[in-house]
Amino acid sequence: MESVVSGRSRHPSENERLSVQHALVKSIMGGKLLVAPANLDLPNLRILDSGTAQANWLLDLAAVVPDTARLVGTDIATGQFPPEAQRPSNMTLQKQSIFEPWDETMVGSFDIVHQRFVLAACRSDEQAQRAVASLVTLAKPGGWIELHEGNMVRIQEGEAHKAMMRFRDIAVAAWASIGQLPDPGVRLAGWLRSAGARQVHALVQTVSIGAAARNTHEAEWSTELCLNMLRTMKRMTAGKADFPDEHEFDRLEEELRDELQRVGNQWYYYLALKPPEAQRQSPVINDHGQDGFDGAFQSRAGSGVDVQDGHNDWMHMIRAYYDFQVDERFESQRDLAGHVDLKRLVEGRAGAVFWSVYVECPKEEDDFSDALHLHSLRDTVQQIDLLYRIVGLYPDKLEIVHKSQDIMRIFKSGKCASLMGAEGLHQIGNSSSALRIFHRLGVRYMTLAHGKNNLYVDSATSKAPVHHGLSSHGRDMVREMNRIGMIVDLSHVSEAAMVDALNVSRAPVIFSHSSAYALVPHARNVPDHVLDLLKENGGIIMISFIPWLTNKEPEKSTVDDVVDHIVYVGDRIGYHHLGLGSDFDGMPTHVQGLEDVSKYPNVVARMLERGISPEDVEKVIGLNLIRVLRDVEEFAASHRQSISVLEDKVPQLWDDGIRTHVKRLYPNAEHDKPHGNIG
């Protein structure tokens, strides 16, 4: 960042930090140098790296692009540039501040404009907007812009993260003391849009630090990056009032190193992409959309993604209409009542489905007693068993998912990867033990509420709020769900509860079947300010096919309305935060063009027709959901021992006389509440 530049070069430790930062980001991106799906094999490409520093990124890029590519790096600290002898002949490095006008010959001349972690040097949002606007002018009409920025403010908090929290507070204060921005990433996409960029894609990347990292290299790099930044803060604030002295900084460095090696933490950095307009022309697709579907996915190197539905009520349909009975007709009959059967799943290219094991809320509106909820617990067990029975009857068609890594393997084998979601905390019978058992049985998300309030949270459609968001029990339950790896689902909850849960959850959350409130102002839909919080959280909203959530005039709703919601959310917070959650068999009707599960390809075709890139379509129809499931699993694996188990409070079974007798029989035994995490 330019604030620590003195003359022609940066402090030597800054050079080290930038090298470590480049290695870490490259590793997190799987070795890729660009997120933008730009064709680097084209001849005569012109590529700009603003804030290039030691030109690490350009030097790596030079090894993979043709010699005809023209690589330009700019930075205010020219002393960091590699010697001429180490630069390839097609690379030019020159002095340029992001705050100064660019040479007119550079305007509109680049196929790719790239910049990483530079806007923190801006002294205001207005200055950052001007800097971004200048970068936008440098791209050709058919050029890509890819910007990366961080957020020093948002980290994991709590008793186990005291040193990291102290480091964060010092860093934020240090940036503020020189008038700079500690969290430019969260506004990055907005600055691009303010500059006139259209179809901006915004991604949020989790950076797991120290013990939470994915491998030893990333653990070492991320830890060293934090410690190096702390040393930078030490230099920046030397002699200033209200900041630690040298000895306090040294002590904090040791505490931070120890803490990161023991429990780790997480940071977030943000990517904003402006794709070229030429890339967004509609492909040729036939009426059914299958050509577009196949062309987008079968021909792409890599994923081979099929549709993943985040919410499907087939289990409830079987319980309600077929009286819980399962037989051969579920395979052989083409037209079972409702929206779902096995043959139509195959026709619709369903690669994975979250089957809802929904049961109805108790009829009493605000009675949260245990006794009233026991039947909900029993019925949920029956619904879980129902899915296991169907999978047992048709093992060549369906397979239960227990880990995110199972999904791709299962549907590549020709089967539908089957997951479960429970639709309301009324289903656990007010018992965290039941939540954990459900998770062991394969339930991977828990909707916090359905149509009525419960002990934990207010529903979006209850008569009146009781908790005005999450209750204290609800906050504890969200933490427990994070701890065990259960995804928090916020569909059906009140707006206040959405905000509360997003503030409490340290793992990504989902809206399993909701849409955009800005397009259809229904209580079940998600307002813009909540979408913005969802982006920071790293979660996803799975756009529903429910007519009354899709169009203000439900009887006129079509597949194009569904795509309107996808495009709206994608433009606002990025396609990294989208999925599909149909609610098939959970609604009495359907939107035109999405009559049942065989019609999934129609929404894919419409997305392509609207100019959504194949890469983003892949994310929407499946890759984002896999990512969230994986991130929730990884959070649980790295924090299971640092978050206390939420234990049920049970009535005292023995009277004091018996308990006293036991203590006398075993005088040397532990008689107090056990310590530690077991669960």
Q: Establish whether 458 is a catalytic residue.
A: no
Which candidate, 250, 126, 260, places its Cα nearest to that of 195?
Answer: 126
Q: Is the dihedral of CA 237, 240, 243, 247 positive or negative?
A: positive
8-state DSSP, 485: T
Cα 95 to Cα 596: distance, rounded to the nearest angstrom: 59
Q: Establish whether 311 is a catalytic residue.
A: yes
8-state DSSP, 284: P
Buried b / exposed e over 564-585, threshold 16 CB at 10 Å, is bbbbbbbbbbbbbbbbbbbbbb
Cα 555 to Cα 591: distance, rounded to the nearest angstrom: 8
- Tokens representing 189 are 């996409």
Cα 307 to Cα 304: distance, rounded to the nearest angstrom: 10
- Tokens representing 113 are 């404009």
Tokens 């997305």, located at residue: 607
Tokens 């043959």, located at residue: 343
- DSSP line for 56-81: HHHHHHHTTS-TT-EEEEEES-GGGS
CB 470 within 8 A of CB 480: no
Q: Establish whether 513 is a catalytic residue.
A: yes
Instruction: Name the 3-class secondary structure at 181.
Output: coil
Catalytic residue among 450, 565, 576, 590: 450
Cα 573 to Cα 563: distance, rounded to the nearest angstrom: 15
Question: Distances from the Cα of 570 to the Cαs of 8, 200, 566, 620, in angstroms?
Answer: 41, 8, 6, 9
Catalytic residue among 439, 473, 492, 590: 492
Catalytic residue among 218, 224, 313, 536: 313
Helix (H) / strand (E) element for 374: namely helix 370-393
Q: Establish whether 560 is a catalytic residue.
A: no
Q: Establish whether 468 is a catalytic residue.
A: no
Which candidate, 181, 127, 124, 129, places its Cα nearest to that of 152?
Answer: 181
What phi, psi does 207 have (nearest 5°)? -110, 105
Helix (H) / strand (E) element for 353: namely strand 350-356
Cα 544 to Cα 569: distance, rounded to the nearest angstrom: 13
Q: Establish whether 84 is a catalytic residue.
A: no
Catalytic residue among 201, 373, 513, 577: 513
Catalytic residue among 536, 583, 618, 631: 583
Which candidate, 37, 29, 31, 32, places its Cα nearest to that of 614?
Answer: 37
Q: Establish whether 583 is a catalytic residue.
A: yes
- Amino acid at position 56, single letter: N
Question: Residue 151: beta bridge partners?
Answer: 268
- Tokens representing 346 are 């195959």
Catalytic residue among 14, 423, 480, 634: 423
Catalytic residue among 114, 148, 201, 311: 311
Q: List, by residue number, the catalytic residues.
A: 311, 313, 423, 450, 492, 513, 583
